[in-house]
Amino acid sequence: MNPEDFPAPAVDVESVAPETLKDRIDAGEQVTLLDARMESEYDEWHIDGPTVDSLNVPYFHFLDDEVDDEILAEIPADRELTVLCAKGGASEYVAGTLAELGYDVNHLDEGMNGWASIYEAVEVTEYDGAGTLLQYQRPSSGCLGYLLYDGGEAAIIDPLRAFTDRYLADAAELGVDLTYAIDTHVHADHISGVRDLDAEGVEGVIPEAAVDRGITYADDLTTAADGDIFTVGDATIETVATPGHTTGMTSYLVDDSFLATGDGLFVESVARPDLEEGDEGAPDAARMLYESLQERVLTLPEETIIGGAHASDAAVPAEDGTYTAPLGDLVAEMDALTMDEDEFVELILADMPPRPANYEEIIATNLGQNSVDDEEAFTLELGPNNCAASQESLAGD
């Protein structure tokens, strides 16, 4: 059912903004969520956390004149409940039904779509190069991006199409010109914002090594080859080829202090190698990834700050709230970074999570082979990113 198909609740129900709910969770408050989506949707993707008590009771259980007593027995009546759904219509109706029954209840405004609209900027305080470095965080999917600004100029690494206006507004508020929009690779979990920003006068940059995958718009953008350098004020962004996750996977070394690793290395894991050539090509890609990590990443100074394009639920933020970590810490904590090649390949192929939802259509869109409007693009990328190998098998003791 669509949100507009649900009758208005008989009682007024308070709505909670997604940002307010996240603030409560971040503050360590105990929250109880009743997710009214279908079980399959809930199993694929839901709001979780150490202080989140989440239960799934699909909305159709509340459509009868009287709610079954067995259903009500599952719902705690001794605490505040926040009901949520996909877009906010079902949750308002369910919350209203529960309110009539005496429950202390509210509902999440715009549902999981509203949750997916949260996008926060946090400064990477350990960065000690020229200028200031911010990490953008999308908690619904773990997508991360980076804004570097110095001397009146700025660059965004791994922008999301859904937040094109946000980047431009942030740059304007900071009093800087957004000069570059840079992608690390052809993403499989979200729609890139590089082309949309390029259309707004920002110089779009994609890895030269990714062009052969069939990118249709390469001639319209700048392509970055290994060793190429882009300047932002007094800061430099050096292109570092790190194939493995994809053949075109590229990292960017920001002022010799911070390495934006895209999907090659995360603070809790390494890349999965099967999203370009599938299971058949995964072993060769895993060996390519091993070489990139050993020869291009682990040769950097151990104090180099690492920041990937994603963070999973297993990732632990640094003291500044960003999902970044010194390279030396990752080497000490992640067994995969100290294994020999055969062990590494065997490990990351052994237990890969499900592939990202809609990944084939997202890849085709990011290649320029498929065209979607903004609403469809937003819908395609809802859910977890799943671009990393299994965190449980990669973590150290």
Return d(Cα 261, Cα 253) in angstroms, integer. 9
Residue type, 324: T
- CA torsion 341→346→349→353, rounded to 10°? -110
Q: Which residues form the catalytic set?
A: 85
